[in-house]
Every structure is written in C-alpha cells, then in structure tokens.
Chain A
Amino acid sequence: MKAPLRVALIALFFAGCAMAQQIQWPVKLDKLAAKASEVVDVQLDKKMLGMAGNFMSQDDKSDQEAHNLIKSLNGIYVKSFEFDKDNQYDPADVEEIRAQLRSPEWTRVVGVESKKDNEHVEVYIRNVSGKISGMVVLAQEPRELTFVNLDGNIDPSQLQKLGGNFGIPKVDTGHKAKPAAKPAPAPKAVQK
C-alpha cells in the first residue's frame, strides 16, 4: 500500500474514532420541535466556545466561572423541548441516546426516577484515564425532555460549581455538601 493512501486511511480511522465518541442525537427526536412550545438547541463546537470565551468579562463572576469551564471543553450540545401537553415524545426514542451511553467509557453516576411524577433524570460521565472527559445529562419529564452534552475535560470541582450558579439559586437542602470525591458508582435512586 502506498504511503499517502496509508496515511489517509489512518487519518480516516482516527476521524471515525473521534466521531464515534460523540453522542448522536436521534433524528426522530428533532421532529419534536414542531410539537414543542419551547425549544432550546445549542450546538457549540470548540471554535465557537473559543469565540464565546473572548467575550466573557474578567470582572463578572459567572463569566469567569463559565470561561474556566469551557476552556477545556471541545463542545457544548443542548437540546431541550417543553410541551404544553403530556407525553409528546416516545420514550423509546430516548432509549437510542441511552444505548450510546452504555459503552464502557461512559458511567452513569446518578439516576433518579420518580414514578409518582413520571420523571427520569440521569447523569453520565465519560472517564478516560481517570479524567472526566465528558458529561451527559438526560432529563425526561412528562412535559419536558432535556439532553445536555458537555464534551471535553471537566474538572470535578467545576462540575460542583455548576450547581447553584449561572443565575440558578442554590437549593437549600438542609444538608452540608460533601467534599468532592471520585465519582460514585452510579447510586440508583428510585423514588416511588
């Protein structure tokens, strides 16, 4: 095999591997936009994140924290649909996303299922060589479906900061927050 062809094939292989790491959003779910009363679709790659970072103020705390978080990310992808009526999406379609998260590099760190409220929220992290290199939040509610994918290296301390930030008031849980430790092996919490 000639050298240029070999190089091209190797490049294709690595490009394929990089693509494979991305969580693919099922095309079927994109049709939900027509039914939804509110749609959020954020697709920011590394270039766009860099551009956004240039416009973040050094004096603003939220901007600073956002900048610290995004500087090591390769992309932020958010899809969120809000509906006026219950059950506007097929949970089986969401299963397509979940299936991709069953690969060995992904770990479900939290799963909360509330049968009473028919809510299902899960947090997955991608662990590569002991580092968090991605996070997915998948939240299913009767009138809302949210998918968040932070692709890239995430510092666990920054992950902790995400709660109670960016204009979201911190929930007073009445419990002292535990210090950040290594990610727990998926505590299954099922509310009945």
Chain B
Amino acid sequence: MNRLEEELKAALQREAPSEGFAGRVLARVAERDRQRQQSRRWFALPVLRWAVAAVIIVVAGGGFEYHKQVQERREGEQAKRQVMLALRITSAKLQEVQWKVQQLNRDREAREQ
C-alpha cells in the first residue's frame, strides 16, 4: 500500500457523527416543512387568493388597455395623415381647375379687347 492509498483510506474512513447530529438534521427538516406549510397556508387564505387573482386581472387588463390605446393612437395618427394627404390632393386639383378656368377667362378677356 503506497502513501496515497493510505492517505485516501485515512480521509475516507468512517467516523461516528457528533452527538445529537441526527436530531439536528431532523429538526432542520421539520423546520423546512413547517415553513413550507406556513407559506402554503398563507396562499390558502381566500382573501389572498382573490387578491392575487385581482392583481393578475388588473395587470393583464391594464396591459391590454395600454396596448389598445397605443394601437388606437397609431391608427388615429395614420388616419389623420391620410386625411391631410387626401385634402392636399383635393386642394391641389381644385386649385388647378380654378387656375385653368381663370386662365381661360383671362385669355377670353384678352381676345375681346
């Protein structure tokens, strides 16, 4: 047996647990279970459950409403741009007609003079 094996054997040899080890482990496990049950009990309260549901509904509703408003704003601004474009085209065409009619009148007046 070489030195390394001896060191390993020494390191891995079974040691008796300190006094009260099992008790401490069981106590810690019991404490963890108690905490878990307590948190579950909190959630088991109907008021809390309703409150969580209400918060989810409010957040989801708010998000939906915000999205709707953003969408409406985008559509409204797009519609406004289209209205202005349509009126600009209409205005330009009416101007064109007006200009042509007046040009004709001017030509006619010039011919008559």
Contact = CB atoms under 8 A, between A and B. Distances in A.
Interface in A134-178: 137, 139, 146, 148, 150, 159, 162-168, 170-171, 173-175
A114 B100 contact: yes
A174 B106 CA distance: 9
Contact of B76 (A55, A80, A148, A163): A55
A48 B98 CA distance: 30
Interface in A41-98: 42, 44, 48-49, 51-52, 54-56, 62, 66, 69-70, 76, 78, 80
Given A51-B76, A52-B80, A166 B91 contact: yes
Nearest to B94: A163
B87 A66 contact: yes
Interface string B72-112: 11011101101111111111111111111111111000000
User: Size range of the interface on B?
Assistant: 20 to 34
Main secondary structure of the interface of A (DSSP, over half): mixed
User: Size range of the interface on A?
Assistant: 35 or more
B93 A51 contact: no
Contacts of B75: 48, 51
Contact of B93 (A42, A44, A66, A121): A121
Interface of B: 72-73, 75-77, 79-80, 82-106
Given A146-B89, A168-B92, A175-B105, 8 more contacts: A112-B104, A150-B90, A165-B87, A166-B91, A168-B88, A174-B106, A189-B101, A189-B104
Interface of A: 40, 42, 44, 48-49, 51-52, 54-56, 62, 66, 69-70, 76, 78, 80, 110, 112, 114, 121, 123, 137, 139, 146, 148, 150, 159, 162-168, 170-171, 173-175, 187, 189, 191
